[in-house]
Amino acid sequence: MKTRDKIVQASLELFNKHGERNISTNHIAAHLNMSPGNLYYHFRNKEDIIRSIFTLYESDIIRDFKPYLDQEVNSELLLNYFDTLFNILWNYRFLYNNLADILSRDDVLKVRYRQTQEQVLSRSNYIIAQLKDDGVLIIDENDIAPLADTLKLMTSFWVSYKLTQSKSPIGSISKASLYEGVLRVLLILKTYAAPNSITTFDKLKTHYQKQADSSLQSDEQIEE
């Protein structure tokens, strides 16, 4: 792995574990047994590293979250979407924690964030319309855009929400609480489920409930 990529990966890991606010470029350099000077050879400052992490975030989303092609809509297809949601939330959780704060410090990043979110929203609209056409959801044409936007709000602020409601710092965001976020999106979507797709939604619910329960157990084991 190139030094540049090593720095990005280590920063992502440290930010997720301790919160971006608590990690300086010196911490990152020390973690990599690297001199601060060497780090500054690759990145001007922390904002510069955050922008590189954001590039990974963008490409993960663009690669994994897109309309489906001609294929049957079954629980496996939907599972892929929800797994993508979980993975993005988990892998970039520091970004979701205190999103407004990170964006307010970097106007360039704010513009990039807005562009990515517009793309997410437009794809999300498209997928909901596909699910309506394929008879999975029953939804008024006019409600598609606000539903897509509501789901984006819920997922964008789930991590912040869990953290403001708890005593805990970012390191304590558990996989279980992110699976809870996935279950919440399912709950809202299910209110639009066509009668013959209710069982599909119930199957997904059972699946993610199990994921949440088993992460809870492994989270507890880590604490021991």
Q: List CB contacts of 93: < 8 A, sequence separation 6 or more.
A: 16, 159, 170, 173, 178
CA 39 – CA 41 distance, rounded (Å): 5
Q: Could you tell me the smallest distance in angstroms from the CB atom of residue 8 to a copy of itself?
A: 23
Category of 60 on φ-ψ map: left (φ > 0), alpha (ψ -120 to 50) or beta: alpha
Among 165, 196, 217, 221, binds a copy of itself (CB under 8 A): 165
220 binds a copy of itself (CB under 8 A): no
Entry field: residues in the chain:
224
- Shortest separation between residue 180's beta carbon and a copy of itself, angstroms: 9
From 143, 199, 206, 218, residue interacting with a copy of itself (rule: CB under 8 A): 143
| Residue type at 148 in one-letter notation | A
Among 163, 178, 182, 212, binds a copy of itself (CB under 8 A): 163
Q: Establish if 150 lies at the interface with a copy of itself (CB under 8 A).
A: yes
Q: How many residues bind a copy of itself (CB under 8 A)?
A: 35
Q: Which of residues 21-80 bind a copy of itself (CB under 8 A)?
A: 21
Cα three-residue angle 33-60-106, rounded to 5 degrees: 65
- Estimate the crossing angle of helix 75-91 against helix 46-64, to 10 degrees: 180
Q: Does 126 bind a copy of itself (CB under 8 A)?
A: no
Contact positions toward a copy of itself, by CB under 8 A? 21, 97-101, 103-104, 110, 113-114, 117, 143, 146-147, 149-150, 153-154, 156-158, 160-161, 163-167, 183-184, 187-188, 191-192
